[in-house]
Amino acid sequence: DAMVIQNPRYQVTQFGKPVTLSCSQTLNHNVMYWYQQKSSQAPKLLFHYYDKDFNNEADTPDNFQSRRPNTSFCFLDIRSPGLGDAAMYLCATSSSGSDSPLHFGNGTRLTVT
């Protein structure tokens, strides 16, 4: 089945220690998104790629970076995680077109110790 896969499912990192979350897709969608979701809050868009075009949200901290080396893969790098970065990180994809819904991976739960 075509899908969006996030690894790892759970990630524990130390305060200040860089961490990378990964996302892959077999849907061949040209748009890939990273959302951060904290408990009882809305998924917050961090950034997204429309093909190779990177769209960063104005309020996304510089501590968060992303890479998309090809259509299938996208990475979220947190350069110096703080305790406030503990959250569920959701990767999603969509095809282009305003009526295209998001297809989510299972998420990565990040814990910062």
Partner 1 sequence: QKEVEQNSGPLSVPEGAIASLNCTYSDRGSQSFFWYRQYSGKSPELIMFIYSNGDKEDGRFTAQLNKASQYVSLLIRDSQPSDSATYLCAVNVDSSASKIIFGSGTRLSIRP
Which parts of this chain interact with partner 1 (CB under 8 A)?
Answer: 31, 33, 35, 41-45, 48, 50, 53, 55, 90, 94, 96-107
N- to C-terminal Cα separation, the chain = 36
| DSSP 8-state assignment for residue 69 | S
Nearer to partner 1, 70 or 98 (CB): 98
Quote the least distance from Cβ 19 to partner 1, whole Å.
Answer: 20
Tokens of 108: 């990565």
Quote the least distance from Cβ 16 to partner 1, whole Å.
Answer: 27
Nearer to partner 1, 100 or 113 (CB): 100
The strand pair at 19-25 and 4-7 is best described as: antiparallel
